[in-house]
């Protein structure tokens, strides 16, 4: 943008990572409402935290109550919601912190845009896969019921599409595994690929 310039500071991302004692990256949880994203992200964060990793969760609902409280659920606002979460994630990575984002993020193009905000090895897309029938059966927030009755327009999976990830780092079926097992799959992936050392 015109008249805007990047300022360069003495403390680098690498310096912050060294202070924290580990690399920083994004765990991007995507999937339908009710698939278990937030529950699994919470368990993963707990495991990372107790092992000495600096972490933070950006949860879709919580973000929408704060910095994104001016956004609706139109396609345009959904895209802006994901864009802002991606920008915040980038800041956390630059701060040397492992950030776990739990957002439906229904559109492939928006998730790819989020990936490009950070370096190649700093974005791990985790598709929490769960059939919509199961998500609707769980319906922990009663949102599917409201969508079916016409109280919510543009609800992902009902009257707004969810585009499955084309090539995520991890696809985990939360109908076939417990949340604890799902979290363990993620922790093992991070260990096996040398993102963390436990």
pLDDT tens-digit series, residues 3-53: 777 778 889 999 999 999 999 999 999 999 999 999 999 999 999 999 999
Find, among 16, 198, 29, the residue nearest to 99 by Cα: 29
Summarize the annotated binding site as residue ranges: 31-38
- Nearest 5°: CA angle at 137, between 135 and 142? 85
Summarize the annotated binding site for ATP as residue ranges: 31-38
Residue 168 has pLDDT above 90, yes or no: yes
How many residues are recorded in the chain? 198
Q: What's the whole-model pTM score?
A: 0.93
pLDDT tens digits, one per residue of 86-113: 999 999 999 999 999 999 999 999 999 9
Instruction: Tell me the domain boundaries of the chain.
Output: 13-131+162-192
Strand partners, 88: none
Q: Which fold has domain 13-131+162-192?
A: Rossmann fold (3.40.50)
- Catalytic hit among 24, 89, 105, 160: 105
Spatial distance between the Cα atoms of 101 and 144, rounded to a whole number of angstroms: 22
Residue 105 a catalytic site member: yes
Name, in order, each residue with C-beta under 8 angstroms of 158's C-beta and a sequence gap of 6 or more: 144, 147, 148, 152
């Amino acid at each position: 943008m015109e008249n805007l310039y990047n300022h360069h500071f003495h403390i680098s991302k690498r310096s912050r990572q060294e202070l924290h004692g580990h690399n920083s990256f994004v765990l991007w949880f995507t999937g339908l409402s009710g698939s278990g994203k937030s529950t699994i992200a919470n368990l993963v964060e707990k495991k990372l935290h107790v092992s000495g990793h600096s972490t933070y969760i950006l949860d879709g609902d919580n973000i929408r109550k704060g910095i994104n409280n001016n956004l609706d659920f139109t396609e345009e606002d959904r895209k802006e919601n994901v864009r802002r979460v991606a920008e915040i994630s980038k800041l956390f990575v630059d701060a040397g912190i492992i950030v776990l984002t739990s957002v439906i993020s229904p559109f492939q193009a928006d998730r790819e845009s989020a990936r490009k905000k950070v370096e190649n090895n700093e974005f791990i897309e985790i598709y929490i896969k769960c059939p919509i029938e199961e998500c609707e059966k769980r319906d922990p927030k009663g949102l599917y019921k409201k969508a079916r009755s016409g109280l919510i327009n543009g609800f992902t999976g009902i009257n707004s599409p969810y585009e499955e990830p084309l090539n995520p780092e991890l696809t985990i079926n939360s109908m076939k595994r417990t949340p604890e097992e799902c979290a363990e799959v993620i922790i093992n992936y991070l260990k096996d690929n040398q993102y963390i050392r436990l």
